[in-house]
Amino acid sequence: NAGVTQTPKFRVLKTGQSMTLLCAQDMNHEYMYWYRQDPGMGLRLIHYSVGEGTTAKGEVPDGYNVSRLKKQNFLLGLESAAPSQTSVYFCASSYLQETQYFGPGTRLLVL
Amino acid sequence: RKEVEQDPGPFNVPEGATVAFNCTYSNSASQSFFWYRQDCRKEPKLLMSVYSSGNEDGRFTAQLNRASQYISLLIRDSKLSDSATYLCVSLGFQKLVFGTGTRLLVSP
């Protein structure tokens, strides 16, 4: 099992560009999450999903959209990137809410 | 006030030392608690769950004090490989809330 994978691993964007981060899990988990991690701020939940076709807002959803069209995939979109979205993005999945398995992260730099 | 608060450290200890971290939480409705470990530039991984009765996993002991709303992690006989950031986590409604982490540096 690959567990949780994220694509891409690293990306540089210019302000105003758009991009989609892909998260995939092969553990048949219902729950999936997108976090961002910034120095001194810890992990903050952007959006999450409790099952295929469902999404919900987390703590810092503004500027991001998500979709969960297939159970194994959770996409995070940035429609118009801003320098404030420079961060490390982690995807996670879980069978129950407790034990979350994280992907390796995507490092995003917005210039 | 953050929902989960931790001392950021770093805690610098020699190999073989015992070190303890505390974490406080503000949401009395939180149901479950955990410690995650995060190595530099890596993803967080579950270290252990925290139960009211306390639980132990080898050199690691975690305890929960609901009355005072704090969680602790004790590491005995520290190893160089224990150097990492330890994240205190509480489970709210449908989601985990992470503390900012406590950094531990174990030196030879």
Among candidates B41, B42, B98 on the partner chain, residue whose Cβ is nearest the Cβ of A43: B98
CB A31 within 8 A of CB A48: yes
Q: How does pLDDT run across B24-38, given as a tens digit for each residue? A: 999 888 888 999 999
Mean pLDDT of B74-93: 95
Residues of B in contact with A93 (CB under 8 A): none
Give strand ranges (E) for A14-105.
19-25, 31-38, 42-49, 56-57, 65-67, 73-78, 87-94, 101-102
Among candidates B41, B45, B94 on the partner chain, residue whose Cβ is nearest the Cβ of A50: B94
Among candidates A44, A56, A102 on the partner chain, residue whose Cβ is nearest the Cβ of B43: A102
Per the model's pLDDT, the better-predicted residue between A39 and A7 turns out to be A7
Q: According to the model, what pLDDT value does residue B1 have?
A: 72
Tell me if A90 and B32 make a contact (CB, 8 A cut-off). Answer: no
* Chain B interface mutation, best of A43, A48, A49, highest count of B Cβ atoms under 10 Å: A43
Q: According to the model, what pLDDT value does residue B108 have?
A: 96
Nearest CA in chain B to A104: B43
Tell me if A45 and B95 make a contact (CB, 8 A cut-off). Answer: yes
- Taking the CA of residue A51 and the nearest CA in chain B, the distance in Å comes to 12
Tell me if B43 and A41 make a contact (CB, 8 A cut-off). Answer: no
Mean pLDDT, chain A, integer: 95
Distance between CA atoms of residues A22 and B91, nearest Å: 25
pLDDT over 90 percentage in chain A: 90
Q: How does pLDDT run across A50-84, given as a tens digit for each residue? A: 999 999 999 999 999 999 999 999 999 999 999 99
Q: According to the model, what pLDDT value does residue B86 have?
A: 97
Mean pLDDT, chain B, integer: 93
User: Does residue B73 carry a pLDDT above 90?
Assistant: yes
